[in-house]
Amino acid sequence: MTEIKGIIPPIITPMNEDETINERELASQVNRLIEAGVHGIFAFGTNGEGYALDRDEKERVLSVVIETTAGRVPVYAGTGCITTRDTIEMSRMAERMGADVLSVITPSFAAASQEELYIHYKRVAESVHIPVVLYNIPARTGNALSPSTVSRLAEIDNIVGAKDSSGNFDNMLQYIELTKDKDFCILSGNDSLILWNLLAGGAGGIAGCANVFPKNMVRIYEAYMAGDLEGARQAQDNIRVFRNTFRYGNPNTIVKTAVALQGYPVGRCRSPFNQLPSEGIEAIRKVLNACREAGIE
């Protein structure tokens, strides 16, 4: 089983002007992040616009990521779909291609009971032989994984962790508390809570900001593991000014715009999720300049 730990960027999906995938730049971004010390690469997560990619595009993205990563770090694949059948199909495809870990977001649009969620994840886990990480982001999907359901799912052998993007620290804390006696890892999906996740017994974070400041995000984890709490806290605090720009639009759009403003040809998010006001773009540019001057990268 792959060890679930550290800083795992949900890598952005570079696109050309016609919204086709820029495979060359995707490979370049994989190398950039690995060279910065990240502990995994997560293909077509939320920041990777998995919600906007079709099956063939996901297969191509995963192929590029796996080929470029070349075993240097684990590859996570976001395979969650609305239905159990489609999620199983995507999960089996990712397993066949060589993904190391599956990240499975809760079904969306239709409301699901906790029992329905439990059965969904159980069936998905039983359909593959690689680790599965649950993904809770109720603000986007409309369905929340309760701590008690996560605790039940943690009893299934290859369900090995959960990413909590609820933004509710108490919810994440309950995930940790209810699974601490199991071989189970909790990752923060909120970049502002990564250090607090570690302090509470968590394993790190799937960090969108790592696309922008990969070395800084890695430092949160590495400094913590080395016992340097002051260094970890400084690295955690460093991203506050960037996260303050999220008020200007969709966080995925903010992150991809920031990477583009750093000089990488990653393109824009797929329409219609690609609009930012001019004051927002200027605010991001000022933050990036300030961080560059401060040596935050």
Which residues are known to be catalytic?
135, 163
Nearest to 69 by CA among 48, 98, 45, 44: 98
Tokens coding 186: 């909790």
Q: How far apart are CA 147 and CA 51, in angstroms?
A: 25
- Cα-flanking dihedrals φ and ψ of residue 112, to 5°? -120, 140
Number of Cβ within 10 Å of residue 26's Cβ equals: 22
Number of Cβ within 10 Å of residue 295's Cβ equals: 9
Please tell me whether residue 284 adopts helix, strand or coil conformation.
helix
Helix axes 55-69, 23-35, angle to 10 degrees: 40
CA angle 56, 60, 65 (to 5 degrees): 145
Say if CB 72 and CB 45 are below 8 A apart. Answer: no
Q: How far apart are CA 203 and CA 221, in angstroms?
A: 9
Tokens coding 44: 């077509």
Say if CB 126 and CB 92 are below 8 A apart. Answer: no
CA 42 to chain CA centroid, Å, is 6
CA 193 to chain CA centroid, Å, is 14
Q: How far apart are CA 250 and CA 208, in angstroms?
A: 12
Q: Between the CA of residue 93 and those of 60, 145, 203, 252, 296, what are the distances in Å?
A: 11, 25, 27, 25, 38
